[in-house]
Amino acid sequence: MQLSFRFQGALCYAFSLHIEQSRKGTDPSIPYISHLLAVASIVLDNGGDEDEAIAALLHDAVEDQGGEPTLFKIVQMFGNNVAEIVEGCTDTYTNPKPPWKERKVQHLAKLQTAPPSVILVSLADKLHNASSVLLDYQKYGEDIWDRFNGGKSGTLWHHRELLNIFQKRSLFPALTSQYQNVVEKLLSVTGDQED
């Protein structure tokens, strides 16, 4: 698949939105755009089209950078399809954000009926997030959990619940298997195995 200048425009827009951000739970010198590039790469590597790759670059834009006005701008710049995928990956439009657990429970419910494009981008996002958490845990140990709103138990609970949904949906088996491997390794090294 050939990417067009729309992808370049999305990359520039994502960079401008997230330029001040660094990755949560990592060395603060790691720019946030690294996560967005990784998610877009995972989407493309798993057969995603250009709209899905653009949505991958912008999947956190609404939640972290401006709420509904940002979503409206995404509609204007990249069309309804991209905006609908981004919206499906968004768990809040407001700032300050509602309580973490409440947001995650509502978003998990939304994923159970989300369209395949939303599942692809969300799965790519969660795979990269879980991989980053695992890497940080292996480097820094238990200290990493203070950086996450859900703490250790909430973060691990969230990944288990997401994995259950992605497995039930059965839309992207190879990608889901990769996510499962990372989540299981994360649960194992943290000593958080279920009975």
Instruction: Delimit the domains of the chain by residue range.
Output: 5-189
Q: Mind listing the pLDDT tens digit for each residue in 26-46?
A: 566 789 899 999 999 999 999
Find the catalytic residue in 64, 161, 184, 192.
Answer: 64
Q: Has domain 5-189 been given CATH number 1.10.1740.10?
A: no
Catalytic-residue membership of 63 = yes
Reduced to 3 states, what is the DSSP secondary structure of residue 57? helix
> Is 64 known to be catalytic?
yes
pLDDT score of 195 more than 70: no
pLDDT in tens, 64-123: 888 899 999 999 999 999 999 999 999 988 878 889 999 999 999 999 999 999 999 999
What's the length of the chain? 195
Q: Which member of 52, 60, 63, 84 is catalytic?
A: 63
The phi-psi region of residue 25 (left if phi > 0; otherwise alpha if psi is between -120 and 50; otherwise beta) is: left
Please identify which residue in the block is written with the tokens 């939304």.
Answer: 110
